[in-house]
Amino acid sequence: MAETCDILISGGGVAGLTAAAAFGAAGFRVICVDPAPPVTDRHAEGADLRTTAILQPGRALMDEAGLWDHLAPFATPLQVMRIVDAGGPDGTARVIRDFDAADISDQPFGWNLPNWLLRREMVARLRALDTVDFRPGTATRRLVTRTTEALVGLSDGGQVRARLVLAADGRNSPMREAAGIATRTRRYGQTALVFAVTHPIAHMNVSTEVHRSGGPFTLVPLPDQDGHPSSAVVWMEDGHKARALMALDVPDFEAAMSDRSAGLLGPLRLASPRQAWPIIARTAERMTAQRLALMAEAAHVIPPIGAQGLNMSLADLQCLLDLARAAPERLGDPEMLDSYGRRRMMDVQLRVAGVDLLNRSSMLPAQPLRDLRARGIAALHDISPIRRGLMGLGLGLK
């Protein structure tokens, strides 16, 4: 006999766990499943060493979900976004522009946290919610939908009847595929190298993005490590070059990354293992099906630029949560899902296109085009209304 709940969440990554906490805190009965138990220790095999910047609107949602009190002690504020062009012939920093959150807000742009730590604290929050049943080690297998409910088959042989199925199960979403929703994929031939570093110069809560060619090299503030200033690095490069970099021994890799950072924080020292992630852009052709809503990477995948990834996912969640609380009796019905698709699809398409443009500009190999990019960075910063408008757009402020 099938179990019943209001919402079955397929996927227990950061987005899925946040959704479980948010809907559970709002009083909905939630079952959240994921095929793999979350890795919640930085040093454990399989730990996700990437970091995520939670922007201002995302923090408000984390507060609603009862998550922010768990996360705040570990969060590093991001007060300034520094954009650097080092695309000249000698690779030095020739254009540096600071986008300061104080121009538009009395809060930082956002707060940076390691992904493994996000999972740890979110799982702790779910344990305190009697409305949420989190089942790591269980996957979704089958989806059958009817007018009033969805029936989901699980890998443990069980079945769940839910008014809404929320697919937060990644770029290869099994629930999206079960619903027959097609995707459009763009491949860049890039790989993102992800790791942590220490450096002699303090980051001062400044996130620094260095553009040369191949993709941006981004240093995002972390708490000090062993008494030294520390940052998370996302280094996007051509796939062939990225593989060669991954094969370097530590001293040679440290020399390469210090050079690629334009020396802005002094010599960088590797402070974690290196991980490599392929870079693609992917969007679902629609964000809903009968009794099913897609969110996060099941709906949209973008390159890691401008802290847009998780924050687009949180915007999906906020929209769904607002609709569900406004009319709980319509949870998962056609009217609710049509509203969700209309509200989110245009924003998703605009942000995917914007990040695609930024990524392509960061990859430019030709010197004249890199020179044009440097002038563009300066112009966008130096015209105050444009600068403030871009910062507000990036935050998703209304």
Residues 136-193: tens digit of each pLDDT? 999 999 999 999 999 999 999 999 999 999 999 999 999 999 999 999 999 999 999 9
Q: For residues 311 and 302, is the Cβ–Cβ distance under 8 A?
A: no
**CA–CA gap between residue 309 and residue 351 (Å, rounded):** 10
Place of tokens 């009796």: 329
**CA–CA gap between residue 119 and residue 136 (Å, rounded):** 12
Q: Look up residue 249 and give its two tokens.
A: 């021994």
Place of tokens 């570990």: 74
Strand pairing class (51-55; 95-100): unpaired
Task: Please give the pLDDT value at position 351.
Answer: 87
Sign of CA dihedral 80, 83, 86, 88: negative
Average pLDDT over residues 212-233: 92
The reply to whether domains 3-53+118-185+282-358 and 73-112+188-279+363-395 share a CATH topology is no
Torsion of CA 54, 56, 62, 66, to 10 degrees: 130
Of residues 101, 302, 91, the one with CA closest to residue 211: 91
- Show me where the domains of the chain are located: 3-53+118-185+282-358, 73-112+188-279+363-395
Exposure string (b/e) for 310-319, b if CB count within 10 Å is 16 or more? bbbbbbbbbb
How does the average pLDDT of the chain come out, rounded? 92
**CA–CA gap between residue 223 and residue 48 (Å, rounded):** 17
Please spell the DSSP secondary structure of 123-155, one letter per residue: HHHHHT-TTEEEEET--EEEEEE-SS-EEEEET
Q: Which residue has the higher pLDDT, 311 or 5?
A: 5
Around 122, how many Cα atoms within 13 Å sit in the side-chain half-sphere? 28
**CA–CA gap between residue 371 and residue 368 (Å, rounded):** 5
Architecture of the domain whose range is 3-53+118-185+282-358: 3-Layer(bba) Sandwich (3.50)
Predicted TM-score (pTM) of the model is 0.91
- Class in CATH terms, 73-112+188-279+363-395: alpha beta
Assess whether pLDDT exceeds 60 at residue 398.
no
**CA–CA gap between residue 34 and residue 26 (Å, rounded):** 22
Residues 300-347: tens digit of each pLDDT? 999 988 777 788 999 999 999 999 999 999 999 999 999 999 999 998
Q: For residues 122 and 18, is the Cβ–Cβ distance under 8 A?
A: yes
Of residues 204, 199, 169, the one with CA closest to residue 269: 199
Q: What separation in angstroms does the CA of 53 have from each of 79, 149, 191, 322, 335?
A: 12, 35, 20, 23, 33
The conformation of residue 246, written as its DSSP 8-state character, comes to H
Q: For residues 214 and 235, is the Cβ–Cβ distance under 8 A?
A: no
Residues 79-115: tens digit of each pLDDT? 999 999 998 888 888 999 998 988 888 889 899 999 9
